[in-house]
Structure 1
Amino acid sequence: MFGDMMNMMGKLKETQQKIEATKQRLDTVLIDEKSNDGLLEVTLTANRKIKSITIDESLLEDKEQLEDYLILVLNKAIERATNINETELAAVAKEGMPNIPGMDLFK
């Protein structure tokens, strides 16, 4: 029993390391999102860090329109990044979870 517990602890530590490595890798996964008309483009990482924002000159004339564009495009990009992030981290966590009856957390 003690050996099983040590084995599980080792697996959990290994899974923790894999999760950290995945988080670091997700910093290199870039998500590009554009407005429908291409006037605004944002790029962020799968860890939801903004890398760049490109704004067409025509949007600089209307503050309210620019704000609306930023909200829409950033929200779409953040949603995509979150989906990628959660999928990747859940896969690593599921892979490293010990097989404990009744603990089907990642189905």
Structure 2
Amino acid sequence: MQQWHFDIQHDVFRNTVATIAYVGSKGTHLGRKYELNQLHPLPLSQNPYAPGEPIGGADGSHDDCGGSMTTPSGVSITGQAAVNLSVAYFENTKFRVHIAGKPMA
């Protein structure tokens, strides 16, 4: 599963910020499940398995085709849209807070 987020902010008026955002995701090489030994419907008295008993796994009915995971390096969370706008975000596994008009912490 791949996910991404992109947004653009622009100060249109005093104390007003316009935001355009895009969020996407994509799955690649996800696991698949095959029902190789699917049972035919039977009356409960003839069913050899108890209700809720898992059937499968050991017989190869689950095929893990592999997957991928990405960690976003620029996720932003915007605070109040006013004169003192603050933005908190992750970058290279460090948490930073930026307040407009002040140096980065």
TM-score by length of 2: 0.27
Greater C-alpha Rg: 2
TM-score by length of 1: 0.27
Q: Relative to total residues, which structure has the larger helix share, 1 or 2?
A: 1
